[in-house]
């Protein structure tokens, strides 16, 4: 009967229902499946059936195996551990550590925080300390450069007022006065 119901449902939806039943689904999938099950009777029955299966699986008791089988498995795993190299142990430990969902996110967060804090709290390189003699020499050189710039501006101002203003502006001004004078005198 489950085959007929699941044929009408999308495989992705069935996977989400299974994840919700086993508790592996995210909050969005849980809300989605619960919303769909409230409106669709087939989904509700399928979810109830998977929940019943989950409860049945969790109520199973562990059976005791014979001692010789447990001893055999223990010897096999211990021998295998001794045969593994250090790098494979390290990689398997890292895989076991970072194989979970929350641990990689936390590790990434720690790495990002460390990088950001390194750049934020990094002390700048100490600035060069200047001696009193170096400061006085720099002040003297600054005064000399200002004096040179001042002389250059004075020469430029003098040239501008003598050549540009007197020749060009006065020439156009005189021509304008001449025209106005001719118009007013009628000549």
What SS3 state is found at 147?
helix
Of the two residues 155 and 107, the one the predictor is more confident about is 155
Average pLDDT, the chain: 78
**Whole-prediction pTM value?**
0.33
Q: What pLDDT is recorded for position 8?
A: 63
Other CB atoms within 10 A of residue 50 CB: 18
For the chain, counts of helices (H) and of strands (E)? 9, 0
Residue 54 near residue 22 (C-beta atoms within 8 A): yes
Per-residue pLDDT of 82-131, as tens digits, reads 555 666 666 666 666 666 656 666 777 888 888 888 888 777 666 778 88
């Amino acid at each position: 009967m489950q085959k007929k119901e699941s044929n009408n449902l999308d495989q992705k939806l069935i996977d989400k229902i299974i994840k919700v039943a086993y508790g592996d689904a995210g909050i969005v999938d849980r809300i989605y499946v619960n919303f769909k099950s409230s409106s669709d009777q087939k989904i509700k029955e399928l979810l109830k059936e998977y929940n019943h299966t989950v409860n049945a699986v969790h109520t199973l008791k562990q059976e005791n195996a014979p001692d010789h089988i447990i001893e055999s498995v223990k010897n096999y795993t211990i021998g295998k551990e001794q045969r593994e190299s250090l790098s494979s142990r390290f990689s398997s430990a890292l895989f076991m550590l970072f194989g979970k969902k929350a641990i990689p996110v936390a590790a990434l967060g720690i790495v990002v925080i460390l990088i950001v804090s390194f750049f934020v709290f990094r002390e700048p390189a100490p600035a060069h300390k200047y001696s009193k003699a170096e400061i006085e020499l720099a002040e003297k050189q600054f005064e000399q450069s200002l004096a040179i710039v001042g002389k250059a501006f004075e020469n430029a101002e003098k040239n501008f007022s003598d050549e540009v203003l007197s020749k060009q502006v006065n020439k156009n001004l005189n021509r304008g006065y001449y025209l106005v004078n001719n118009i007013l005198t009628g000549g």
